[in-house]
Structures are given as C-alpha cells and as structure tokens.
Structure 1
C-alpha cells in the first residue's frame, strides 16, 4: 500500500503542463524533486523552515530547540519553467523543480545563500534497530563571505570559513549547529546527533550521523543583531538575570569546609574588596560513591543552614555544584536506577578513590542520568530542591552538562534514552538537563530569578537563565587569547551569557615553577592572572576559578603592591559599570542584544574588523582591547586537557627566576574601527577611527575606548551590588554624534519585570545643540527612587548636577572646542 501511495505522489508531482508542481500547506508548500519530498514552511516573514526527506518516507518532528510556532505569514507563490518561487515580505525562496536545490534571497532579490546542486544526501543507517539515515546538506557560499558561530571552539578563529569541526559536546567545546553570515542571514541545522561541519572551496555542509530528514531553518535579519533577534524568536528569548550575578565571583576547586568557604567572604569584606558571590565546588556531599548526592554529607559541611545564613548575612550569594550524574550510594541514583533512567557510559569520576591516576580496580559506579526523560528531570529537581534550594542556595553550578563522556566506545551511542538512541540526541543533552532545572525552579517560585552556570550549551539554551563558561581550560597566554573569539562565536549563536575561568583552570605548572611553590606569588602567573581578570571584567559573568593555584586576591599580595592593586582596580571598575551592565542585560532581554559584540556587528562597513579576534565591544559603547601577550615575563605554554590536566605529578621543567618590574610602562597595538571617533576611557583623549594606534599600557590598565555619542552611567563605590541605591549616578556623555541611553531598573531579583514592574529613563544627547535631555521616567516598581541626582560629566571635565524627580529635564552644555 505504501508503495502505491508513493507512486501516486511521484505521478502527481511529475505532471507537466498547466498543473501545479506543488501543493499549498497551511504555512507554505510541499513539492517533490530528484526523489525527495520538499516542504517549505514560513515561521514568520524572515524565518523559513526547509525539510527534505526521501519521497518514499513520512517525516514529523517536534524540535527540542525551536519553540516558535509557524505563524500565518502572507506569501505569494508562482512557477516558472524551472522554478517554484515563494515570496514573503522579507524573503524569496526559489526551488529548482528538477534538482530540488533551494536558493534564498532578500526581498530585493539579492541572493543570500544557495544549496549546492545535489547537495542533499541520505545514506542508509541502522540506529540500534531503527532504519534511518546519515544525512547531509551542502551549501554554496560566496568565496570571501565570513561566517560566525557554530558554538564555542578554542582554536583562535573568529571567521569560521575553511575549517572543519566535529560538532559534539565536550568539556571545552560547545557544539551549536548554527552559523550566521556577514550578509545578514543565519542558518540553524536542527539535528542533535554528532555532526561534521565542513567548509572548503567546494561547499559548506552539515553531515549528521542520524537524521530522518534534512531539516533546517533559514533566517534573515539584515545584520548580526537582526539574525540574533530571529534566532531568539525561533528558539527562545533570554530572561533577566539578578543584578548580583553581574558582580564579582570567587571560586576554586574546591573549598574543603564550610568554615573555609565563609572565611573567604569575610576576608574580602575585611579588605574592602567588592564581592557578590562565592561558589562551592564538588565533594560537599562526601566521597565519590556519594557523588552529587544533592546533600551535605561531608562532615566538614555539617551545618549547611548556618553556612548559608552566614554568607547571606555578609551580603553575598552562594551557588553550588550539581552534576548530571550520581554515585551508586545516593538516593537519586537508587530511584532512577529502578526506573531505568541511568546510562552506562564512562563518566567522571572513574574511580571511587580521589588519587591520580584513577584506581580502576575500585570503580566509582557514577552514572549519567537520562535528562531527556521528563520524569527523570522531575526526580532530579526533587532532590535538588529538598537538599539545596530549600536551604537557601541562590543558584546552580551545573557541571558536566555535556555530559562527561570518557573512554568513548562505539556502542555507547546505542544507549537507550527516552527520545531514542544517545547517538540521535547526544548534542541536546545540556539543553535538556539545564532546561529541567530552570523549568522546575520557575514553577516553584517567581520571587527568585533562576541563575545557572553551566559548562555546555546547545541552540536555544539562552531561554533557561544559563551562563555558559568555557570549560576546564589551561592557564596559558595562548588559552587567554583564544577565549575572545571563543566567546564571540558562542555569542553569535544567540546565547548571550558566557565567561571563562579567570586565570585558566589548570595552573599547576606555575605553582611548580615558583621558587616557593606558591603560584600566586609567581610573577609568570601573576601577570597572566591580572590580564585575565581585566578581560573577565568585560564578560557577562566575572568569575575567578581554577585549581592548583589559589585565586583569592589576598594570595597575590597586599594593598599598595602592583598586582594586588591591579586586581582590586578592575573589580571596582566592574562595580562602577553595574548600571551600564544591567541596562545592557535589559537590552539583551528586551531588544535581543549581546554583551560581547564582535566588531563587525557594529562596524560591518569596515572590512578590517570582519576577522578581528583580539578586540570586541562590551555592550553598545565600550571597545575592549585586552592585553593577551606577556609584557613583563616570558610566556609559559601549558598544554593540558580535561583528563591529563588532573595529573598533579606532571613536573615543570625548570623554575623560572625572572626579575620583574610591574611598575614599568609597556605598549599595545590597537585598531579603532572606522565610522566613528573614539574616546580613550582613561584619559578622554579623542581619536579618529579607522586607524591603528599604539597605546601605552601598565599592569593596571588595558586599552578601553568609548565611541562618540555614547552615554555611560557609573555607579557608586560599593562592596556588593545592592549596597547603595543608584540615587547619585555619574553620567558620562561623549560628544561628537547624537546619542541615547536607557537607564533600566527593577526589583533586581524576581520576575515582576515580566508584569511591567520596572522603570526606564532615557538620556538623549543632541550633539548639534549641545543639549542633554533626560526624558520622563517610564514605568514604576516597588521601592523605586522617586527623586535622585545625576552628575553629568563631559570629556573636557565640565560637570553639571541635575535634580530629577521623574519629569523631563533638559540641560545645555557649552563644550570646549578641542
């Protein structure tokens, strides 16, 4: 019967003459060519889904990433001798009636992307008894067309052309099957199995191990922000994070008692160094057989309620490590094991002992749970809530959300999950496990915003209140350099919250090469750490973390010493920028913006920035040029990975004995993009864009520039984010062009903003008139400031104080002409 039906379909679509070679559907059309059924679905005027599958098959799928439902979109369809052409307000989609390949063009008929002729391939594949395909789709890009995205990769490349990736989740590699082009379009390949991405002179292609169809979404945004807006419309918007998450965070592998943990916060308070968060890593649960018990079973954490209260009384927040796996003596393991919800792949930790290398005669028995199973996610939250959330834990450090997959065997991919083989859904694991925690906490309460720090991500994860960090990196200058393009490409997939371990995770080589064995006093590491913390100041999360070398500021020296003072200066700068950062967070949520912005996003007309991997914009106004090469000490290359990095026996070759003068002045080459003039953040010197300059640097300074027309608020000096109200903000205005800025405020840690409980105050700079307008305040929320003072500061030093009660105010400035 199926054979007869397929023959009728083929006959229908092969009829020539006046008959249509397609049938209309509710959101597009369906046709056939070259032995393939082709379905085009408009999700909105700028997003179109393309589905191709063998004509003898049927296909349906509920996407794990896509949350947008296809809307009623006006489009026209017409046929020519060789093509079927669909036209919406934003897109033209052209299907070749013979070959079946699809071409996408803007409404202006400018060609954006073409499928490669005969570029859709289906190779029969038996997926644990299910007959399916290895599926691939190839495209043709312009020769010199940069593309970006594909997740987080640590190879130092910004432009992803002429590269090949095995897209599979790993500790330091985050696979997202999405890229966007300088031409203003994006493409999301909606497949969750391990996938080969290839770009060469012949094609740009995705090839996935398992797939019943070639299933992808093409979106047009006109520019990078527009593409991100469409990707978030497709896969979910990013919610607001609490204000406290944007302060400074201290962590290490690991605090070994609750007293040690609390004392770190106390020492920061005693030193008057700002801090908003402390993080407890693993083994607060006890031994490896109790791995991730979601409970404080370690005797050194005997009174967790007291620990949490002490941290809160110090005006700090605590997030805690939870994993995607469980030890055999834990309650979650026993409950899930009875229901067949645990995998048998090898994961971390392999041994019940904590020695290195692992003693495999005593396996830990730790197993990964089936996060694809909704009941398993319920069980996971039940223990998370009872053991941790109900005790006042503020957020989640979801480690190993790839999950860790060690000693990989081919048969591991045959593992049965709730949604089919592990092979079929492997890359979506972080989306499912992170989403499970977010969804459950949102159901539990709207009084506290979800905050998740996680090591892995997939398309759509921005909707789950998650910040992804770059994994267990090595502590080297090369690694630091690679963080910039890694974070930018990750951001360009539409996931805005990203950071790295400040100082790199594995730092043992610096400890062993120090004369006294203290890596924090080793000048080689001190210089690297200072430069990394300066970079981290301009990430979505500022978090110091690692092993081997302690990262708390007091280990690096004391006040009055260059290294300590440099760290202190940038932590304080982070807090001064909180009003700017929080307003950027609102831009991310409300207008689909990004924290870290590749320079081409704002200066696409300047081709020199298309592949610039060592500078970026932080928010819309600040250009950041981190110092990523050693200036005071020799560079030390540390080659590690997440497995060998744990080898504490790896000795350093020689102890470096270097005389270092951290007070000396150095310099760095910087490119300032064309299209605007720039102000030096430190000196207010105005410099013309479109040129390479040399900037003097010191250990406590990196080059920062503000584009003309920018308006930047600076907050008060504080020890934690909410210590003082923003009732007397300094507003820096950078003349040269018209500009605007919206100061956003809300209750900082609940979801009332979703109900309209927030305020916006817009600042408008008219450059020709030299006039600043502070508009009427929009909105209200409980506890808002009714009256406040703004101190307006110009680059030439001119200051004016303005009293503001929510009503429009205008002020004229007579600026010096320099």
Structure 2
C-alpha cells in the first residue's frame, strides 16, 4: 500500500511540474524553462500555422513581446494537432506531418517528420544566446541561434549577393541592404525544409562574429621583415608627384570616414598602390577573408594569386570573399595590388579567425537588435513545396502584366523627351521587339529632386511623351525615388508631419548633382508617410498613365559609402523604432506604399514595381528586384547567375539585372574609335560587343529581360551595327523570347496559382542527383529549358553537366544526350548551350513586336519524347486582376511515352477575349528523329475547339 502511495505522489508531482513547465495556447504551447542567468531563455513558444509551418519564439523575459511582424501575412488557422508528454524531458506538438519536440530542461527544439526522423535540431542546449541592447531608449536583445547541420547539408537563398557564392554551407553572409546586395533572411535546405528568420536588423548567417582588422588577428611584418605593420607604397603616374612609402597597421579604407587615413593630397586616380609584407597567424585553421574594393585589385597570399583582377567603379565598391588554411607562427607573404579608379576610392581587407567549434559548419543566425527570437520552420518534400510554404507565410506572388515578360530598354539616361520617344521609334523601324522603355532619374530640374515635375526644357510635353510611347505600342516605366531635396514642396509636406529622416539635413549632406544639393529620404515605416508618398505620385505622375514604377535606392541609400553606424543615423529613427532595429525592411515598406496606393485608385490595373532592394514578402506587392549598379566585367556577369538563382530560392520569383552591367570601365568609354584604319575592331570594343552579346544570351532566360547601364548606350544598334554577329545574336534571342511568350506567360501564372519559381537552380528539379547541389552556372528556365550561359571572353566551348534522371536534346540540332554526364559543348559566338529535357512540351507562339501584338491562335507545340511529359497552357486578360476572380483558362497537354500519344485536354475556364478555336502544329522530337528548334517546323496540324483530343505521335 505504501509503494502505491509513493507512486501516486511521484506521478502527481511529475504532473504538477509538467503543468508549470508548459501551457497550452490556442495554436500551440508555451514552455517555461528555469533560468541560470537573466539572459538565458525563459520561455519558448511553438505555434502551429499549418501542418508543415511552425512559428518558434524564444525570450529571456517573463512574457513575450507583442507579435508585430512586418513580413508575415498568414493568419491563424485551426490546424489539428496534439500535445504529447510521453518523453520525460520533452513536450511535443504533433501535426499530421511534423513532431516538434521542446526540451523542458533548456527549451531546445527538434523538428521531426511524421516517421520520427530528425529534420532539423537546435544546438544542444537550445543554441540560443541573448545579449541586452538599448538604442534610443528602446530595449531589446542581440541574439544568436545555432542549429546543428549534417556534413551533407546545403543552404541556398539569403537573397542576392555579389561574391559569386552559391551553396552557403560552411560560408557566411552579412545581411544588410546595399546597392547590388539584397538581403532576405530565408534559406532552403536540401533536407527538405526552409527557415525564415524574422528580424529586421543587421544580421549574419553562418557566422556570428564580424570580420576583424588584420592587426587585431595577425602579427604583421613589413616587406623588410620588421614587425608591426605592412608596407604601403603609393606610386603616382602624374609628373611632379612624390611617391610615398609608409607603414600600414591595417588595410581598412572602406568608407568616407576611414579613407581619410589614406595619404592626403596624393592623387589616387590611376596610381599604383601596393600593400605588402607578411602575416603570422595565432592558431592553426582556416581563415576567412573579405576584400572590399573599388578600382582594380589583385591579392596574393602565400605567393598564390587568390584574387585575380577585379574591378568596381570608384563610388560603388564591392566585396569578395576567400579562405586559406594557415599555420600558427608561420609567416605567410601577403601582397595587395590596387589601382584606384577615382579621386575617391576604397580598399580593405579584413579577416575571421577559425570559427569556434559550436558554430563551425552549422546553421548560425545572428541579429543586432530584436525583441525576441522569432523564426518560421517550413517543411516540404521539395524545394518547390518549401517555397510554397514561404509564400503562404509572406504572401502570394502576383501575376505580372504580360508586357513585363517582353524586352525592356533602359539607359542612364534618356535626357530628353525626344531621346526616349526617338529610340522607341527606332526599335519599331528596325522591327526589333520591345515592350517597355524606361525613363531613369533626373527628368526633373536639377535642383528639384522629389518634385515629380518634369524639366520643361527637356520634357516640354510629358503627356505627349507618354501618349507617343503608347501609340507605338510601348509601355513606360519611370524612376521614382524616396528622396527629396529640402527646397521642394514635397519635402516640406513630409517634414511638417515629422516624416523625413533628419540626420542628412542636420549635417548638411550634399549629393553628387551639380554643386551638390541637400535632401533626405522619407520615413516609409510611417503609414501616413506611405500614403503621402503615393498621393504625391498620384497627383503629379499617375494622370499621365505611366505604366510602371522604378523604386531606386530603396535600401535606403541616403549617402554612398558611409560606415554602418552613420548609415543607421541617416535612415532613422523610424516611426516604428530605431533604425538599428528596423534596418533592412525599408524597400518592403516603400513597395507597399505604391502597391496599396495604385490598387486603391485603380484596383483592376496590375501594379508593376521594380526596386533595387527587397526583403521577405516583397513578392506580395507585385514587385521585382534588380541586382543594382553592377560592373561591366565578365566576373560580374558570372556572379549574376548565382545571385539570381539564390534570389529565386529566397521565394521572390521576379528578378532582373542590368544586361551588360551598369558601371563601365574607362576603356569602354574613352572615346576610342570602334575600328582602326584597316577596318578591324578596336580590341576593347570587340570585347565590349562580345560581353554584351553573352549577357543578352543569358538575360533572355531571366524572369525579366532588361538592358540598362551607363554609356556606351545599350540599344542593340549602339552596341553593334545590324550586320554584326553581336546585333544578330541579340535579335535572335529577343525574337526567341517573344516566340516563347505562351511558355513564359504560363510560368507567370504558375507563380501565383502554384507558387512556382521561374529561374530554377538544377537541384530544384533534380534533387536526387547529388552532383547538381553546387552547380551555380547552369539553371532551368521553367520546366523544360536548361540554360548554360557563357561568361568567359572568347570562349567557344563550355563544360555542361547533364543531370541524371532524364535525357536531353540540344536545342539547336535536336541531338540526343544521355543524362548523368559532363560534356564540353560548343558555344559559338552566336549561341549559348541550350538544352531541352525529355518529356518537355513547349508551346511556341507567333512572331511579335510586342507581347500582345498577336493572339496565339496558332501554336507550334514541340513534344520532346523519351519519357512522359505534361504542360498546362495558362492564359488570361494580361493586364488586370480578373484572374483573382477566376477569369483565366487552362489547356492541359499530356504526353504518354508508352502509347506515344499526346492528349490535349479540354479548355477549362473562360475570360474575355479567350481564343475558342485555334490550330496546334505538333512537332515530335525523339532520339530516333532529332529535330532542330525552328519556329515554323512541319508537324501534325490539328484544329482545336476547346474539346479534348488525342494525337498519335508514334
């Protein structure tokens, strides 16, 4: 009897402890954890949003800070789940697909699938760290979260960065917004999950520590072997200027403050600068370096060229990362060769010591300031399912207007009304397809930035300009900045409400225009300010019937090349709190202003926004992002491939770049003749033409196809005459883009209805092939095309990996290629390697000069035989939101390899203007019957009236 009493007492005690340690809430549980210090976690909350979507919060406080996410739109839904306490030290939340186990001892979490297999686990003990921080009277925490990561895990996403890194396993990325850098705190793992980190402050992935100055890590030696510093040698190429040699305790000239440490009154432009000596490491291990550069730079370490020549324009530096194993106490030679490319130029080299064991090769998140740890776990059986979950959390991607799928022409900049209209006329005269032409910045009077008023001398009739563009069947996008000179009435409207950032005004910060003018940015975190921003656009620009909005400098970039602390001062405090806490989400708020504004006044006209920055959730505002003011170099073109692919995996499907690069080396703009006296191309111009050709070939398969940049002008005839192979190749791929419009616009529909991703890393479609996990220079354009850009000058071949699980057809010849092998493929000047997978069904439309010129009443339907295939043609009304109300149609095509039959399904759905009767010309391509892709191929022609038909192909 006594034993029974003891057992009942013990059971009651355990139950009472359990009750104290966790509580049930409407959508999950809160687990309370005993603290050993005030900065240990005290509460962990698990909320079930869907069977495979889990919200995790953790705090060292007695209660959770109020949820106020800027990125999450998913509401609470009644998802069945149960709570299990049958494991002694854990409590579990169990859905039909997941089991989320929380330790009652330390709050550590393990995510398991329905079969009990571990998907993701926090580091033993929870892997969390909270450090109190207070900014401008608001308290918060600097936080770190570590997850265990197996050796074969891969991470992709994080937005768009320029160091040409693809798989972030074992790597690190600092997450902030910058011209050419777009940070999105979301990763997709090859372990079939994604993680969305809900913090808006400066953050880091993969490494919680910042890069350090060389002299704080290494013992430095100059070129003669003396300890204490490297040797800096400054050699001028100007007559009468004395060269300088001095000690350099660090190489840190990375912002407008630190460059003051460079030799004063020394003409840096075109100088030859060398930093040399040796470094001695304090411990064995791999050291990670980050190079910051403007101008031309090379880096040699241990007598190896670790950074081949790179270049960036003086006002827009770039970062590049590399690693090297070093031995403790061993001197390693270091040499940096730098040729600045402006009177103001930047150079820096910083380092990370070997990573602590608890972080090394694990998944690490760090944020400077947040109220609590907040993250979202997304599970799915594929990368597509994970991205679908991400969009469930952050919002659907809208279908862009059909014209946005066509070609866009832009330059910095069309300076007059006649220039922009005249260039569009030239496109039409040449029968070169185009949909959209762009008016970049400075169409206002010089001292009136933010007025939204045109300079009457250069743009005497803005309404006539827009009308002329529309009469030429073109669309017009215009640059609208969140920047306002303090003398404008628009600035004053914001300022009197307290909606302008004040630091630039206080410091009298002048920009680069003319003599320099003082202005600042509006506070997009204020709801009232967002409405006023739209109202000013609506009053001044919207009546012109402009078609799209270009949101430049939306990082926000109040002033180029500032240190991080001053940058925060320039863009805050915000209406929601300090810019330390709300640092990365300006572009999201700014996009909301125009999206909500336009839909409020013209709810059935599709919004189109292009922004230079972005954040998680941007896709819900019908917004695309471009990769900023990148350089016109081959290595920069290559970096756009991995940048675009990681941005796509970050869940935002519409991305574009400046085809040809924005910032141009002097050798391309120095006014040299294009041809010498013998009629041969100037060497630099020859390279310029090939670079643009290769970039157009790649760009034709980006989600959006757009050329832009500084002089030389980027219109195809300004790149090369129409007899030149460069012009002819650019025209070929532009025509191909338009002929593929039924295929491309279907993908636009899929981004909304199926949460599809247009530009696809190979691992999305061939996850079973482990060799594709790190392939960063090939991608799928939709389900059918494998695109292999050429990014080396004068390359006429390139290696191509053909994923296993399918076989392939050469687009240009129909040649059959077995999957699972790497081949060195032809890459003539005119073409990039392009391949079609077995089972592909590709609809080809009519030749067009703009996207809606002709209806696709006759479609050539290519069927690539060898395995079963399917494709569903999507069509709607192209420019309105009636698709949200069900006005669209689908025609499903299904090919069965065993029977050799193609079934064209019944046309489902309807919309105004729908084609009810059309012809299909079916072209079958097989291993036995290879065929080159041509627009007007012969095939089986059938008439289709919307009813199902089956066609025998073999």
Same fold by TM (over 0.5)?
yes
Report matched runs for 1:623-642 at 5 Å.
Answer: 623-631=786-794
Structure 2: where are the runs of 5+ without partners? 1-11, 36-41, 208-358, 676-681, 932-937
Q: Distance in 1 between matches of 2:778 and 2:729?
A: 21
Of 99, 111, 126, 2:118 maps to 111
Give the drift of 1:297: 3.1
Task: Indicate the SS of the match to 2:31.
Answer: strand
1:451 aligned partner: 608
Partner residue in 2 for 1:785 = 915
**Number of the residue aligned with 2:108:** 101
- The within-5 A match list for 1:309-320 is 309-320=467-478
Change (3 A) 1:325 1:586: same
In 2, distance between residues paired with 1:351 and 1:517?
A: 38
Cα pair distance change 1:477/1:521, threshold 3 Å: closer
Query: Does structure 2 conserve the Cα–Cα contact (< 8 Å) formed by 1:583 and 1:744?
Result: yes
Deviation at 1:16, TM superposition (A): 5.5
How many residues get paired? 763
* Structural mapping, 1:606-755, within 5 Å: 606-631=769-794, 666-755=796-885
Q: How does 1:109-148 map to 2 (within 5 A)?
A: 109-116=116-123, 117-148=125-156
- Tell me the residue number matched to 1:638: none
* Structure 2: distance between partners of 1:165 and 1:780: 47
CA distance in 1, matches of 2:885, 2:683: 47
Q: What is the SS of the residue equivalent to 1:555? A: helix
User: Which runs of 5 or more structure 1 residues have no equivalent in the other structure?
Assistant: 1-11, 356-361, 633-665
Aligned ranges 1:405-420 → 2 under 5 Å: 405-406=558-559, 407-408=562-563, 410=565, 413=568, 415-420=572-577
Evaluate the alpha carbon distance shift between residue 223 and residue 256 of structure 1 in structure 2; reply closer, same or farther with a 3 A threshold. same
- Superposed, 1:463-474 pairs within 5 Å as 463-474=620-631
What residue in structure 2 maps to residue 371 of structure 1?
524
CA distances 1:155-205 after superposition (whole Å, capped 9, x unpaired): 111101122222111111111111110011011110101112225526322
Q: Which residue of 2 aligns with 1:476?
A: 633
Partner in structure 2 of residue 28 of structure 1: 28
Which of 158, 171, 178 is matched with 1:170 structurally? 178
1:87 aligned onto 2:240: no
Superposed displacement of residue 520, structure 1: 12
- Give the drift of 1:54: 1.3
Residues 561 and 119 of structure 1: is their aligned pair in 2 closer, same or farther, counting only changes over 3 Å? Answer: same
Counterpart for residue 489 of structure 1 = 646
* Shift of residue 221, structure 1, vs aligned partner: 1.1
Are positions 1:256 and 2:415 aligned together?
Answer: yes
Alpha-carbon shift at residue 296 of structure 1 (Å): 1.4
SS of 1:589's partner is helix
Asked if the contact 1:468–1:497 (Cα under 8 Å) also holds between the matched residues in 2, the reply is yes
Aligned equivalent of 1:803: 943
Equivalent residue, structure 2, for 1:661 = none
Higher mean displacement: 508-517 or 581-590: 508-517
Report the counterpart of residue 69 of structure 1 in structure 2. 75
Cα distance in 1 for residues equivalent to 2:180 and 2:674: 28
Instruction: Sort the Cα spacing of 1:713 and 1:450 in 2 relative to 1 into closer, same or farther, 3 A.
Output: same
Change (3 A) 1:590 1:471: same
Give the CA deviation at 1:426. 1.2
Query: Alignment partner of 1:794: what SS?
Result: strand
The question of 1:559 aligning with 2:716 is answered no
| Partners of 1:526 and 1:363 in 2: CA distance | 35
Counterparts of 1:32 and 1:517 in 2: how far apart (Å)? 73
Supply the distance in 1 between the matched residues of 2:860 and 2:684 (Cα, whole angstroms): 37
Cα 1:560–1:345 shift into 2, 3 Å: same
Alpha-carbon distance in 1 for matches of 2:644, 2:76: 31
The answer to whether the 8 A contact 1:455-1:469 is kept is: yes
1:145 Cα deviation after fit: 0.4
User: 1:680-716, CA deviations, whole angstroms, 9 ceiling, x for partnerless residues?
Assistant: 1111111110001122121111111111111001111
What is the aligned counterpart of 2:953 among 773, 791, 813? 813
Q: Which moved more, 1:460-469 or 1:409-418?
A: 409-418
8 Å contact from structure 2 (residues 876, 883) kept in 1: yes
Contact 1:373 1:419 in 2 (8 A): yes
> Retained in 1: the 8 A contact 2:20–2:32?
no
Q: Distance in 2 between matches of 1:302 and 1:598?
A: 47
Structure 2 CA distance for partners of 1:37 and 1:553, relative to 1, 3 Å? same
Distance 1:603 1:612 in 2: 11
Please say if residues 345 and 405 of structure 1, whose CA atoms lie closer than 8 Å, have aligned partners that are also in contact. no
Whole-Å separation in 2 of the counterparts to 1:349 and 1:125:
30
Q: Note if 1:308 corresponds to 2:466.
A: yes
Residue of structure 2 equivalent to 1:381? 534
Candidates 604, 618, 622, aligned match of 1:461? 618
- Aligned: 1:428 with 2:585: yes
- Aligned equivalents of 2:364, 2:486: Cα separation in 1: 42
- Residues 175 and 185 of structure 2 are in contact (CA less than 8 Å); yes or no, is this contact kept in structure 1? yes
Name 1:655's counterpart in structure 2.
none
Residue of structure 2 in register with 1:215 after alignment: 374
Residue pair 1:231, 1:494 contacting (<8 A) in 2 also: yes
* Residues 1:68 and 1:581: Cα distance change in structure 2 (over 3 Å): same
CA 1:471/1:22 → structure 2, altered by over 3 Å: closer, same or farther? same
Q: CA deviation at 1:346?
A: 4.7
For residues 232 and 567 of structure 1, do their structure 2 counterparts lie closer, same or farther at Cα, with a shift above 3 Å needed? Answer: same
Per the alignment, do residues 510 and 596 of structure 1 end up closer, same or farther by CA in structure 2, a change over 3 Å counting? farther
SS at match of 1:290: coil
State the structure with more CA Rg.
2
CA distance, structure 1, for counterparts of residue 831 and residue 186 of structure 2: 36
Counterparts in 2 of 1:531 and 1:510: CA distance versus 1, 3 Å: farther
Q: TM-score, normalised by structure 1?
A: 0.91
Query: How many Å separate the matches in 2 of 1:13 and 1:154?
Result: 57
| 31-40 or 799-808, which deviates more | 31-40
Could you tell which deviates more after superposition, 164-173 or 346-355?
A: 346-355
